[in-house]
Amino acid sequence: MSATYHKATEHSYWSVRQPSRGLDWSMQPSPFKIYEEYPLVPLDLDNPTHKFIYYLGGIDAKKSYPGVEYYLRTIPSAGALYPTEIYLQIREVEGFEDGIYHFDVAHGGVRLLHVLAKDEGVEVYFHDKRQIKGFLVLYSTIYYRSSWKYKNRAYRYCLLDAGHALGALEISAFLYDHAYHIHYDFDIATLNERFGFGQKESFVSSAIVGVPKSTQARELRMRLSFVDGTKTFEPNEMIEAAMEATRALRHCRPNFRYPKMPFVKERLDEVVVQRRSIRDFKGYPIQKAQLKFVLDFMRQPIPSDCDEEVRIWYVVNNVKDMPRGLYKDGKLIKEGDFRAKAGYLCLEQALGSQSAVTFFLTGEGQNYCPMMQKAGHIGHRCYIASEYQKIGCSGIGAFYDQEVQEFLGTEDMVLYALSIGV
């Protein structure tokens, strides 16, 4: 189903030129889900534990235009639509009552949805049912926030956005000295039911930031009522079918290796809140060492229970002391000036041609949900490593799929594109 869905949502030169109805602004979804009846614990950014949570996806800027305001967060999102919601189980963490919380981004805090009894916990829906002392972070997607604008292709963006959120967790865990491990293989269907999601929201991944105890968790007795996270909704049968079909995982290969983090924490802390998607490049070159720094971090292992290979191709447009051309694994595959080609492949966006480097991430894995989120995670690393060196970065989820495959000479699915430069 994953390959079928990906194929069915490809862009082509002709598909993007088909007549389409414009956006129905009366149906614009809210970017915030709020459990109004539950108590709010405001996040104090002078408290390291609170700041760890805030860096997972808190608001750090606002942009105002005539008739509309956009709230920007520590994670990027396609169209600033933010389909990802974050829930946390917190156990034996100073300053928090043991319980299930929702990250209320709009109000800068977490809401206590359920107080945990001593024996219960979300861990019961994982293979290792031992209670976790610390945080168990759950990521869900509300697909209509994205499908309102991007229609059938929106599930791709939902997964990439969730991957960026996992990348943000990686950075926050490093800043606050936590180990983490990503999990995709857990009982999503039952947890969806416990959280009252229906068909409008679904968990897609999780991360353990803590240590296992000797005692196992028992059945979670929480039953939440449905809380609308959009205020509007139009069902999309293709996306719902794809979500259902990609939930089951096969032949997962775990990865227990941790990445090397090449950052000075004080500088990285500034980068997290300053990160923005660049909208255009001036066309200046970057240094070869700067590209190496970005690539080295993008290639670092990602610890998870279902690791899929994501291949990194890149078009060098303007890097000092490097021939222009298409590269993979540090090797020049095709030499030439492909600036115009890269821009055309990225749906004729100037970002692809004016950049110093344009990346294409591809994969052929059978576990679509983990693979797409890993691509988003790698994309987040690209953002952070670029901006750490004062280079701009922009993620590009729209491209001519088959023509990118032809240019790269691969049958892989094209998962994501990114451009960096100044």
CB atoms within 10 A of CB 174: 17
Confidence band (pLDDT; 50, 70, 90) for 1?
A: low
Least confident of 15-24, 36-45, 248-257, 357-366: 15-24
Least confident of 23-27, 225-229, 317-321, 370-374: 23-27
Sheet holding 331-335, edge to edge: 331-335, 325-328, 311-316, 357-363, 413-421, 392-396
Q: Which residues contact 155 (CB under 8 A, 6 or more apart)?
A: 5, 9, 143, 146, 147, 239, 242, 243
Classify burial at 21, counting beta carbons within 10 Å of its beta carbon; exposed 0-12, middle 13-18, buried 19 or more: exposed
CATH number for region 277-421: 3.40.109.10
Dist CA 309 CA 371 (whole Å):
7
In this predicted structure, the answer to whether residue 397 has a pLDDT above a threshold of 70 is yes
Q: Each residue of 342-366: pLDDT tens digit?
A: 999 999 999 999 999 999 999 999 9
What average pLDDT score do residues 306-316 get?
A: 98
Q: Is the pTM of this model over 0.85?
A: yes
Q: Which residues contact 379 (CB under 8 A, 6 or more apart)?
A: 160, 163, 164, 167, 361, 395, 416, 418
Dist CA 397 CA 156 (whole Å):
8
CATH of 24-245, one of 1.10.1040.10, 3.30.420.340, 3.40.109.10, 3.40.50.300: 3.40.109.10
Classify burial at 323, counting beta carbons within 10 Å of its beta carbon; exposed 0-12, middle 13-18, buried 19 or more: exposed
Dist CA 164 CA 120 (whole Å):
30
Mean pLDDT of the residues in the chain: 96
Dist CA 108 CA 418 (whole Å):
30
Residue 223's nearest CA partner among 192, 186, 187, 247 is 192
Confidence band (pLDDT; 50, 70, 90) for 68?
A: confident
Q: Each residue of 258-306: pLDDT tens digit?
A: 999 999 999 999 999 989 898 889 999 999 999 999 999 999 999 999 9
Contacts of the segment 111-115: beta carbons below 8 A, 24+ positions apart: 111/35, 111/38, 111/39, 111/40, 111/41, 112/38, 112/39, 112/41, 113/35, 113/38, 113/87, 113/222, 113/224, 114/220, 114/222, 114/224
| CATH 3.40.109.10 boundaries in the chain | 24-245, 277-421
pLDDT value for 271: 96
SS3 117: coil
Percent of the chain with pLDDT over 90: 92
Confidence band (pLDDT; 50, 70, 90) for 146?
A: very high
The kind and range of the H/E element at 164 are helix 154-175
